[in-house]
Structure 1
Amino acid sequence: MAKHTFWVFLILVWGGSLQANLPDFNPEDLTTAPPRIIRTCCAFGADLSMLGIPGIKVNDITGLEQIGPHTYLGSKAEGNGIIYTRKGGFIDLGHLRDQADWTAWLYASILAHHQQGRWTQKLGVEGGKKTLILDIPAGTDSTDMLLLAGRIAFDLSAWHEIATWYGASTVPFVSERYSSFSIEDMYSNTLGIVLGMRALKSDLPYEEAMTAGITHILDSLEAVPTWDDTFAAMQAVEGVWWTSSKHLPSGKILLKRALNIQLCQHPYLLPQQAASTEPCTISLEENSRTGIPLTRFYELRIRLNHKFNQRSQILPDGKAYITQYDFTAFVEDIRIQLEQEEV
């Protein structure tokens, strides 16, 4: 069955240059990157128990009535959680909103600094010190800069999944491997980047455009209406995609992970729906409008820390840092580890 696809190329490029409605930034906002994780969300599963805390059940689930307006860098009123959609599978709204906001910040930073030619932006620590080096050719228009912001946001979101597998975490000594590459992560990340770029191209203020965009996309993907509906969808894949026999923060809660870090992302639909439902595949642009690979305009450098105790087996000899071009080697290493766990 043919898959319906959102092509960012069609959404953005044919419109020529754009005048974006950015969030309100102070000059210092563009010198300090946002937190890598803006919104803490979500553990995949339903009624998850926590190690050492009997009686507590974790449900990072939401419904259409609970979802509130978008706020740049987050607010409690957003009502984030995981929601099931018939054409897009499970959507993590925390991931989605984070990647939209990162796209907006990156785009604003690129607009502010691109005339410098080559410049460097520190991006904090996540599995190591992250540095973004950009070198944007003179004459690059705003549409290509927006596509570039989305491409960088995608790489950063992929790195988060890789880093959490190897031990990077928001809370010291609390592993987040339980959530690394869960089946909805990269799809939700990519969807957020698409919505962020749409919002920046909209005539509406950014937050209003994001709020409208989330409502529209959830309707297009046929989101189930209630919290109970998503809870039931989670229960339908218990023992298939996740297990209730383990306790948070065990890395063995997830039985299935989606390791795809390509620009084309497909959703995982409930097995009983997959044969009869047309899934919605999302794709980001790889090249500028003139056909130049967007990755030529930047390099994401990460000086790995002690969390990566296997890095010597993965990295070329003598390499002091990795870049986005090394991500696939780490994903393959994760794949091998998962296969060994199944034996």
Structure 2
Amino acid sequence: MKLFTGNIRRPLFAKLLASQFLLLLALFTSAKAPHLTLKEITTPPPRIIRACCSFGVDLSYAGIPFAKRSDIISIDQIGEHGYMGGKEEGNGIIYTKRGGFIDLGHMRDCADWTAYLYKLIQSKQGLANPVLITLGTEGGTKTLELEIPTEIDSTEIIQLAGKIAYELSLWHEIATWFGVSYVPMLPERYSSFSPEDLYSNLLGVELGINALKSELEYNDAMTQLIDQMMSTLDAVTTLEETYSAMEEVENFWWTRTKSLPSKKILIERYTETNCYLLPWLVPSEINILPAYKLMKPEDSLSDLYKLKIKLNHKFPLKDIIPEHEKRTITQNDFERFVVYINHDLAHLTEKILRQSIRKQKRKDIKSDFDEPSS
């Protein structure tokens, strides 16, 4: 997707620098994570903490006439952040001129997972290595294996927590493509790798890392950082503006001709595996400031952990990684799964295109028959 960046004007550039400075203030203070009990530390949160969101507007439900779904939000509805969800939160999708569509639920979830993993890793420091931790089930049992050096400092633990949190969010996108769902019998493939998912996830990791480095209480830090980030990303202010942005990319990124939970609602999916992420911006927008680039946590800490998943029957592992004899994979295998998904997507796009051509031909034939003879 082509990104429109344009030239930076001086007053806006000054505003950008001021916003960035406010975000960086959090980086030079001591870590202040949520206060968790031993039970909360030893009990991993659910993979999906906040139920959100379907990409698109006025989406219909299969078998439920007249019901429509639009998971969008305005800037004044965002509210205060609450660790693992709070009644003051507002979640939904909002359009930003520098960060594209942001799913606030995904963003908050990844921030909170970063905070949780920070407390978890911190609690295991000093124990005999390796440390094995079960992180629940999603397409199979997830186990985190940690090798924590005694000399590792708080900043490195925060970075490690962010890296693992992002890997877990990537696995969620992979798993839902292969039929794993939070609610039994309700497939989530329709939302796997949607245009805003990975970017929102990584944005949440960045905010979670900065909140952990703040001198403020975690929830207060997150509330301030989200507000500052929305300003930095130049978020639109009204529901109507986000609705219009969604309409701009209808029939390009998504379609309302299909009903939830059809996998054909999304026309384009974001499956980027680079070391950085750039957002998808609405092509008609001429943006003065550049797209906000997100860097993934560095690979320098990769040898400190293994995220192991013992796969269930939903995954055609022999087709994806033929040399694998056992059904246990790690985060190092995720890219192979994304490559396989991209092949699936190419076939799905081709199938949709053929169906569209046949449908148009039938319309043309019907039109010819319906025309009155001269």
Question: TM-score scaled by structure 2?
Answer: 0.85
Counterpart among 43, 66, 87 of residue 32 in structure 1: 43
Superposed CA deviations along residues 75-131 of structure 1, whole A, max 9, x for unmatched, are: 243110000000000000000000000000000011111211320110101111100
Contact 1:167–1:176 under 8 Å retained in 2: yes
Q: How does 1:225-240 map to 2 (within 5 A)?
A: 225-240=237-252
CA distance 1:122–1:63, change in 2 (3 Å): same
Unaligned runs of at least 5 residues, structure 2? 8-15, 351-374
* Aligned twin of 2:330: 323
How far off is 1:274 after superposition? Answer: 5.9
Give the Cα separation in 1 of the matches to 2:308 and 2:241. Answer: 42
Give the Cα separation in 2 of the matches to 1:38 and 1:341. Answer: 30
How far off is 1:335 after superposition? Answer: 0.2
Give the Cα separation in 1 of the matches to 2:6 and 2:274. Answer: 19
Q: How does 1:84-123 map to 2 (within 5 A)?
A: 84-116=95-127, 117-123=129-135
* Aligned twin of 2:79: 68
* Aligned twin of 2:191: 179
Unaligned runs of at least 5 residues, structure 1? 288-292
How far off is 1:209 after superposition? Answer: 0.5
Give aligned pairs, total: 333
How far off is 1:260 after superposition? Answer: 1.1
How far off is 1:160 after superposition? Answer: 0.3
CA distance 1:199–1:177, change in 2 (3 Å): same
Contact 1:13–1:143 under 8 Å retained in 2: no
CA distance 1:275–1:199, change in 2 (3 Å): closer
CA distance 1:14–1:72, change in 2 (3 Å): closer
Counterpart among 223, 232, 239 of residue 220 in structure 1: 232
Residue type of the alignment partner of 1:31: T
Residue type of the alignment partner of 2:90: G
* Aligned twin of 1:259: 271
How far off is 1:13 after superposition? Answer: 11
Note if 1:49 corresponds to 2:60: yes
Give the Cα separation in 1 of the matches to 2:97 and 2:301. Answer: 32
CA distance 1:270–1:77, change in 2 (3 Å): same
Contact 2:317–2:324 under 8 Å retained in 1: no
Note if 1:201 corresponds to 2:213: yes
How far off is 1:342 after superposition? Answer: 2.0
Give the Cα separation in 1 of the matches to 2:259 and 2:349. Answer: 19
Question: TM-score scaled by structure 1?
Answer: 0.92
Contact 1:158–1:261 under 8 Å retained in 2: no
Give the Cα separation in 2 of the matches to 1:12 and 1:330. Answer: 38
Give the Cα separation in 2 of the matches to 1:134 and 1:13. Answer: 27
Q: CA RMSD in A?
A: 2.2
Residue type of the alignment partner of 1:311: L
Tell me the secondary structure at the aligned position of residue 271 of structure 1: coil
Contact 2:196–2:279 under 8 Å retained in 1: yes
Contact 2:180–2:187 under 8 Å retained in 1: yes
Structure number with bigger Rg: 2
How far off is 1:243 after superposition? Answer: 0.1
Between the aligned residues of both structures, percent identity stands at 48
Tell me the secondary structure at the aligned position of residue 293 of structure 2: strand
Superposed CA deviations along residues 117-168 of structure 1, whole A, max 9, x for unmatched, are: 3201101011111000000122011111110000000100100000000011
Give the Cα separation in 1 of the matches to 2:328 and 2:30. Answer: 36
Contact 2:26–2:213 under 8 Å retained in 1: no
How far off is 1:2 after superposition? Answer: 9.0
Contact 2:33–2:218 under 8 Å retained in 1: yes
Superposed CA deviations along residues 227-265 of structure 1, whole A, max 9, x for unmatched, are: 111111111111110001000000110011000133411
Between 1:69-78 and 1:143-152, the stretch displaced more is 69-78
Note if 1:297 corresponds to 2:304: yes
Give the Cα separation in 1 of the matches to 2:71 and 2:207. Answer: 22
Contact 2:317–2:327 under 8 Å retained in 1: no
* Aligned twin of 1:290: none
Residue type of the alignment partner of 1:30: I
* Aligned twin of 1:244: 256
